[in-house]
């Protein structure tokens, strides 16, 4: 009963979050403070393990919505609240998860490099500290795993509704090819892609706890895929499709289920094609004027050239986020590639640590056939995202929470699949 009331409570807050339509001004400060207080106060009294999925859901929707939001934009506020919750529950730490040792070492390393080179705490450092503390607010038994999956799916559904409803608003740019831009459509698309992947995994492996979750999963897949096509983000579309293909091919399920899923996906693509939505995406893929990936290869070449000219000490330990941003390109510019960014910002040590971080959940899930395929598909999704963007280096919370989800999933006991009930009664031996 309490769980249902909590779901209803946060659904009400989610509705409030989606009611602010202004693209030019934020809600008044008293309303913002009241909203955020209402969001976090319940966790100081009961159900501390629900904090992380709620924070993930609300911060992601606020960050990638079409307008200003009730949610704070400063990450130190989330770090402060998360830290206070940690202190309040110090006597219960034995019941909670612990962050991977490599993540702790990496966080310390990033903090030291950025403080020594740029004399400031960067966005990635704030994210890492939030994630580290968040581990201590997650139960060991994984009873809230469904809440994490639900959070990602709700994010996809809500952002899709925003996109379909306000796609032609002043906050959105429409290019000559018809491509809609959502502040940064690439990050926007990949955040929605996370929900698609998690929902698809839930469906094909029959991991949904009840029919309501199944319906939500199907809805997030349909709406999310349509959004990716209309949004025309090549990286997000590719990440989702490759990961879905891996799950479909290697999932431990029967051939009938695979056939039904594949047929549904093909049917959906045919419908989308005849509606004309693929025209924009295909133009983005095969446009001869865009062979450099919107100038990404030019940026990569310039950054690599700048890196080769650095002293050996800087190559090994990096030049920090600020130094990497200002490297080689006058006025400063991002990398559009997380792996290159980690190499320059945090050196050879940093890029090695990043690969260890990505390999860690795979290692944890290796001896579980079902979890292994799921985790590999999730890691591949993140790798493709990071190949043309830099969500981890910039410090986007949804992507770091996605990594946290991978680690948690690799640790939790393998969930039981939903049983398929046959309408034919069993035959019992009379003997």
User: Has residue 73 got a pLDDT over 90?
Assistant: no
Helix pair angle (255-274, 185-204), 10° resolution: 150
| Confidence tier at 188 by pLDDT (50, 70, 90) | confident
Nearest to 61 by CA among 401, 314, 413: 401
Residues 398, 198 contacting (CB under 8 angstroms): no
On whether residue 253 sits in a domain, the answer given is yes
Which domain covers residue 214, as residue numbers?
142-167+177-289
Instruction: Give CA angle at 122 (118, 126), nearest 5°.
Output: 150
Parallel/antiparallel/unpaired status of strands 180-182 and 172-174: antiparallel
**How far apart are the C-alpha atoms of 124 and 107, rounded to whole Å?**
9
Highest mean pLDDT pick, 173-177, 183-187, 288-292: 183-187
On whether residue 184 sits in a domain, the answer given is yes
Tens of pLDDT, residues 6-20: 889 999 999 999 888
Q: What mean pLDDT comes out for the span 231-241? A: 74
On whether residue 243 sits in a domain, the answer given is yes
Q: Which 3 state secondary structure label does DSSP give 193?
A: helix
**How far apart are the C-alpha atoms of 237 and 323, rounded to whole Å?**
32
On whether residue 198 sits in a domain, the answer given is yes
| Confidence tier at 260 by pLDDT (50, 70, 90) | confident
Residue 258 neighbours by CB under 8 Å, 6+ apart: 204, 248, 251
290/149: higher pLDDT: 149
**How far apart are the C-alpha atoms of 318 and 312, rounded to whole Å?**
10
The model's pTM: 0.85
User: Has residue 248 got a pLDDT over 90?
Assistant: no
Domain count along the chain: 1
Instruction: Give CA angle at 289 (283, 292), nearest 5°.
Output: 100
Tens of pLDDT, residues 366-414: 988 878 888 999 999 999 889 888 999 998 999 999 999 999 999 887 6
**How far apart are the C-alpha atoms of 241 and 220, rounded to whole Å?**
15
Two structure tokens written together for 235: 């990286």
Nearest to 82 by CA among 47, 125, 133: 133
Helix pair angle (145-166, 185-204), 10° resolution: 130
**How far apart are the C-alpha atoms of 6 and 47, rounded to whole Å?**
9
User: Has residue 48 got a pLDDT over 90?
Assistant: no
Residues 231, 163 contacting (CB under 8 angstroms): yes
End-to-end CA, the chain: 46
- The least confident of 10-24, 141-155, 285-299 is 285-299
CB hemisphere CA count around 412 (13 angstroms): 24
On whether residue 343 sits in a domain, the answer given is no
User: Has residue 291 got a pLDDT over 60?
Assistant: no
**How far apart are the C-alpha atoms of 335 and 350, rounded to whole Å?**
15
User: Has residue 139 got a pLDDT over 90?
Assistant: no
Q: Which 3 state secondary structure label does DSSP give 141?
A: coil
**How far apart are the C-alpha atoms of 71 and 55, rounded to whole Å?**
10
Q: What mean pLDDT comes out for the span 186-196? A: 88
Q: DSSP E strands: which ranges in 160-206?
A: 172-174, 180-182
Q: What mean pLDDT comes out for the span 199-218? A: 86
Task: Give buried/exposed letters for 246-282 (b at 16+ CB in 10 A, else e).
Answer: bbbeebebeeebeeebeeebeeeeeebeeeebbebbe
**Residue the block writes with tokens 């490099």:** 113
């Amino acid at each position: 009963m309490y769980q249902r009331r909590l779901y209803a409570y946060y659904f009400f807050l989610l509705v409030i979050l989606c009611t602010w339509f202004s693209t030019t001004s934020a809600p008044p400060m008293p309303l913002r403070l009241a909203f955020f207080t209402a969001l976090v106060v319940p966790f100081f009294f009961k159900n501390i393990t629900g904090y992380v999925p709620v924070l993930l859901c609300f911060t992601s929707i606020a960050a990638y919505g079409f307008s200003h939001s009730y949610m704070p934009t400063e990450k130190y506020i989330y770090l402060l609240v998360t830290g206070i919750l940690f202190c309040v529950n110090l006597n219960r730490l034995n019941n909670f998860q612990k962050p991977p040792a490599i993540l702790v070492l990496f966080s310390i390393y990033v903090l030291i490099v950025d403080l020594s080179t740029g004399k400031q705490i960067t966005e990635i450092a704030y994210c890492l500290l939030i994630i580290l503390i968040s581990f201590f607010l997650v139960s060991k038994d994984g009873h809230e795993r469904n809440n994490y999956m639900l959070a990602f799916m709700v994010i996809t559904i809500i952002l899709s509704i925003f996109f379909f409803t306000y796609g032609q608003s002043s906050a959105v740019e429409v290019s000559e090819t018809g491509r809609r831009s959502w502040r940064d459509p690439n990050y926007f698309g990949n955040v929605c892609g996370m929900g698609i992947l998690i929902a698809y995994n839930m469906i094909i492996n029959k991991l949904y706890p009840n029919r309501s979750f199944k319906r939500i999963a199907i809805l997030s897949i349909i709406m999310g895929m349509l959004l990716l096509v209309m949004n025309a983000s090549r990286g997000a579309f590719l990440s989702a499709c490759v990961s879905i293909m891996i799950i479909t091919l290697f999932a431990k399920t029967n051939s009938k289920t695979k056939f039904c899923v594949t047929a549904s996906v093909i049917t959906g693509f045919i419908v989308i094609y005849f509606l004309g939505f693929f025209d924009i995406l295909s133009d983005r893929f095969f446009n001869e004027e865009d062979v450099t990936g919107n100038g990404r290869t030019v940026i990569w070449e310039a950054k690599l050239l700048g890196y080769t000219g650095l002293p050996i000490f800087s190559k090994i330990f990096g030049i920090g986020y600020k130094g990497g941003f200002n490297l080689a390109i006058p006025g400063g510019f991002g990398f559009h590639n997380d792996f290159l960014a980690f190499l320059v910002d945090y050196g050879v040590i940093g890029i090695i640590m990043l690969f260890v971080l990505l390999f860690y959940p795979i290692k944890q899930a290796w001896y579980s056939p079902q979890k292994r395929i799921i985790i590999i598909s999730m890691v591949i999704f993140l790798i493709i995202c990071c190949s043309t963007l830099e969500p981890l280096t910039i410090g986007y919370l949804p992507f770091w929470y996605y990594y946290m989800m991978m680690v948690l999933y690799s640790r939790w006991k393998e969930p039981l699949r939903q049983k398929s009930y046959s309408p034919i009664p069993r035959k019992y031996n009379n003997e």
